[in-house]
């Protein structure tokens, strides 16, 4: 696997692949890779001849007071994992390679509507940073397809909307959440948890499973969500949101069948997110 740090080298390497007529799959990441990221590489591998991963801790998607400086940077381990997973190219640019101007002067992609509420409410500007960097990577790599984890459900919806609105000729592949044996969704931020918090963390997924079962059995939505919030608080979480939305993130209406439960909650200083899809009864 070759690691490329500069845009001209990236363009040259991809030019070779394109001339061969290879399908190119992109796996954008911020590094500190775990099994969830490797599942993205595997999904990419199954669908394309050339797999390119990117590692870029994108400052534009971190708000003031968030963990930009503390975010784990583990390039060497990541390179070894990507290589073992069958990745062909890694693009790992410096911040100034992608953002030539100060961030506030930088052109942005803003996706409306689907960014409202949920993580968009508690992390203002976060999704502008995500859509801008993903749009930039799409422009640089021009992949045939790109793989994203379903754990970041709203992010995936934002990227799908951007691709539709801006007519990027790129297939977006959503890859199911990879969980630890106890149900905790894998995340680079799980490394921030103390041993006690790590023991509590799977309660988030367990609570979502209990709520799903209640809702699929025709439980009252408001009462079920209120009970879920209480259960999370009793377990030691500070819930940010716990919501039921239609699968496309629109509001739930009497005709909604395919829906998704979404939660974000803090455990100490660590913010965890998770989601679970479900089918509402008629």
Minimum CB–partner distance for residue 128 and ligand PAF (Å): 12
Q: Which is nearer to ligand PAF, 149 or 202 (CB)?
A: 149
Sign of the Cα torsion 158, 161, 166, 170 reads positive
152: contact with ligand PAF by CB under 6 A:
yes
- Near ligand PAF by CB under 6 A, which window of 14-22, 84-92, 128-136, 253-261? 128-136
Q: Check binding of 120 to ligand PAF (CB under 6 A).
A: no
Residue 224 touches ligand PAF, criterion: CB under 6 A: no
Separation between Cα atoms, residue 156 and residue 11, nearest integer Å: 26
- Helix orientation angle between 7-19 and 126-141, rounded to the nearest 10 degrees: 50
Q: Using only the alpha carbons of the chain, give its radius of gyration.
A: 19
Site string for ligand PAF, 52-81 (x = CB under 6 A): ------x--x--------------------
Q: Does 135 bind ligand PAF (CB under 6 A)?
A: no
Kindly indicate which of the ranges 63-71, 127-135, 250-258, 268-276 contains the residues binding ligand PAF, using the contact rule CB under 6 A. 127-135
Nearby residues of 92 by Cβ (< 8 Å), 6 or more positions away: 3, 4, 5, 31, 54, 55, 56, 75
* Given the residues 37, 126, 167, 205, the one annotated as active site: 37
Task: Residue 55: name the closest of 85, 69, 25, 76 by CA.
Answer: 76
Spell out a b/e string for 86-117, using b for 16 or more CB atoms within 10 Å of the CB, else e: ebbbbbbbeeeebbeeeeeeeeebebeebbeb
d(CA 12, CA 165): 29
DSSP code at position 114: T
CB 14 within 8 A of CB 142: yes
**Closest approach of ligand PAF to the CB of residue 19, in Å:** 28
Q: Is 131 in the site for ligand PAF (CB under 6 A)?
A: no
The Cα–Cα gap between 115 and 157 comes to 9
Contact between 30 and ligand PAF by CB under 6 A: the answer reads: yes
Q: How far apart are CB 281 and ligand PAF at their closest, in Å? A: 33
Q: Which is nearer to ligand PAF, 148 or 237 (CB)?
A: 148
Binding test (CB under 6 A) with ligand PAF, winner from 53, 111, 133, 225: 133
Specify whether 167 is catalytic: no
Q: Does 28 bind ligand PAF (CB under 6 A)?
A: yes
Rule CB under 6 A: which residues touch ligand PAF?
Answer: 28-30, 58, 61, 130, 133-134, 152, 155
Catalytic residue numbers read 37
């Amino acid at each position: 696997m070759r690691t490329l740090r500069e845009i001209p080298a990236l363009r040259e390497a991809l030019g070779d692949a394109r001339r061969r007529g290879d399908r190119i799959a992109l796996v954008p990441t911020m590094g500190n890779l775990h099994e969830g990221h490797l599942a993205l590489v595997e999904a990419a591998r199954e669908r394309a001849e050339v797999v390119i991963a990117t590692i870029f801790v994108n400052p534009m998607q971190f708000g003031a007071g968030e963990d930009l400086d503390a975010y784990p940077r583990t390039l060497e381990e990541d390179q070894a994992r990507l290589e073992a997973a069958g990745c062909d190219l890694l693009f790992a640019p410096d911040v100034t390679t992608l953002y030539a101007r100060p961030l506030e002067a930088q052109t942005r992609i803003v996706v409306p509507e689907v960014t409202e509420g949920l993580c968009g409410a508690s992390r203002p500007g976060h999704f502008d940073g995500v859509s801008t960097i993903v749009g930039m990577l799409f422009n640089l790599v021009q992949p045939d397809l790109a793989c994203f984890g379903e754990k970041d459900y709203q992010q995936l919806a934002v990227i799908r909307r951007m691709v539709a609105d801006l007519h990027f000729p790129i297939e977006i592949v959503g890859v199911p959440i990879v969980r630890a044996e106890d149900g905790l969704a894998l995340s680079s931020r799980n490394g921030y948890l103390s041993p006690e918090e790590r023991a509590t963390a799977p309660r988030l997924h367990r609570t979502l499973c209990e709520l799903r079962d209640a809702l699929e059995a025709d439980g009252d939505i408001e009462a079920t969500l209120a009970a879920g919030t209480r259960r999370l608080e009793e377990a030691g979480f500070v819930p940010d949101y716990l919501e039921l939305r239609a699968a496309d993130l629109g509001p739930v209406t009497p005709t909604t069948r395919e829906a998704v439960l979404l939660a974000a909650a803090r455990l100490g200083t660590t913010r965890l997110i998770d989601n679970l899809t479900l089918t509402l009864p008629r």
